[in-house]
Amino acid sequence: MKDQPTRQARRHARVRAQRERKKVLLPLGTVLVVIMLAVLVVQPNLKTASLHHTKAESESVKVVTSEKTKSSQPKDHAKKHSEKAKQTQPALWNEEKDAQLNSYIQRWQLAMGQHYQRYYPESGAGRLNFYGVSYPDDFAKQAINVSGRSLSVDTSKNGRGAADFNVVAIYSDIQQAQMNGHLYLFGFEDEQPHVLITQQNQGMPDGKVHFTDTANQDLADNFRRIVGSQADSEDPEATVPSQSSQIQVNPGQQIAV
C-alpha cells in the first residue's frame, strides 16, 4: 500500500516536469519563429541596400571620372590650340630673305675689307670650327652667354623655335682672320631680330661662348630691313660702316663688331 502512493507521486512529478518543459519550450519556439521571420524580411532589404550602395559607388566613380575628363579637356584643348597657333604663325624668315642677306653680305664684306663664308644654312664651307667650338653642332650642348644672359640657341629655317635664340644664318671670316676671327649669328629672340657677334678665342670661367649685339649699325639695320621685307627688290646696298661701329686693331686695319 505504501508503494502505490509513491508511484502516484512519481507520476504527478513527471506530469509537472513535462508541463514545465512545455512552458519553457513554447517561448523558445516563439522566439525562433520570430527570428526566422525577421531574417526573411531583412535579407532582401540588405540585398537591395547592397545593390543600391554598389550602384551609388559606380555612379560616383563615373562622376569623378567624368569630372576628371572635363577638367583635362580645357588643358588639352589649350595645348592643342597653342601648338596649332605656333604652326599657323607667319614665318619670320624664309629662303628669299636668306638670299637677300647673303647677297648683302657679299657686298658688305668688300666695304669692310674682310671675307666671310656662310656656315648656315649649309654651304660649301662645311661645318664651322671657331676656336674649338663647332657651329651649329654644339648649339645643343650648351647655352651661350649674351651680354651676361644665358640663352639656349638652335638653328631655325623660319626664325621660330623652342630655343631662346633661333639662328637663321651663321657667317664667319675665321679662315682668313685666324686669331682675329669674327663669328656672326643672325637670328631672333622673342621674335625680334638680332645680330650677335663673338671673337672669343679661348675658354671662359662659365664654360660658355660670350656674344654681344653687334655695334655695326649698318649690318644690324640691313638685317632688320630684310626681316621686315623693307629691303628693295634690289638687295640693300652695302654701306661703309660708321666710325662708331669700327675698332682699330692694327694700324690700317678696321674690323666690324
Q: Has residue 100 been placed in a domain?
A: yes
> Which residues have CB under 8 Å from 143's CB, separation 6+?
150, 151, 152, 153, 164, 208
| pLDDT given at position 252 | 40
Q: Has residue 113 been placed in a domain?
A: yes
Given a contact cutoff of 8 angstroms between Cβ atoms, the answer to whether 98 and 123 are in contact is no
Q: Which domain holds residue 128?
A: 95-228
Following DSSP, what letter does each residue of 153-215 receive, concatenated? EEE-SSS--SSSEEEEEEEE-HHHHGGG--EEEEEEETTEEEEEEE---S--TTSSPEEEE-S
Return left, alpha or beta for 220; rule: phi > 0 is left, psi -120 to 50 is alpha, else beta. alpha
Tally of domains within the chain: 1
What is the C-alpha to C-alpha distance for residues 178 and 129, in angstroms, rounded to an integer?
11
| pLDDT given at position 61 | 47
| pLDDT given at position 33 | 61
Query: Going along the chain, which residue ranges are E strands?
Result: 117-120, 128-130, 133-135, 144-146, 149-151, 153-155, 165-172, 183-189, 192-198, 210-213, 246-250, 253-256
Q: Has residue 156 been placed in a domain?
A: yes
Q: Has residue 41 been placed in a domain?
A: no
Q: Has residue 70 been placed in a domain?
A: no
Q: Has residue 7 been placed in a domain?
A: no
Q: Has residue 72 been placed in a domain?
A: no
Phi/psi for 219 (5° steps) reads -65, -45
pLDDT in tens, the chain (257 residues): 455 557 777 777 777 777 766 665 556 666 566 677 665 655 555 455 555 555 555 565 455 455 555 555 555 655 555 555 555 789 999 999 999 999 999 999 999 999 999 999 987 788 899 999 999 999 999 999 999 999 999 999 999 999 999 999 999 999 998 789 999 999 999 999 999 999 999 999 999 999 999 999 999 999 999 999 744 444 555 555 554 444 434 434 445 57
| pLDDT given at position 125 | 80
Q: Kindly tell me the burial class for residue 151, based on how many C-beta atoms sit within 10 Å of its own C-beta (0-12, 13-18, 19 or more).
A: middle
Q: Has residue 88 been placed in a domain?
A: no
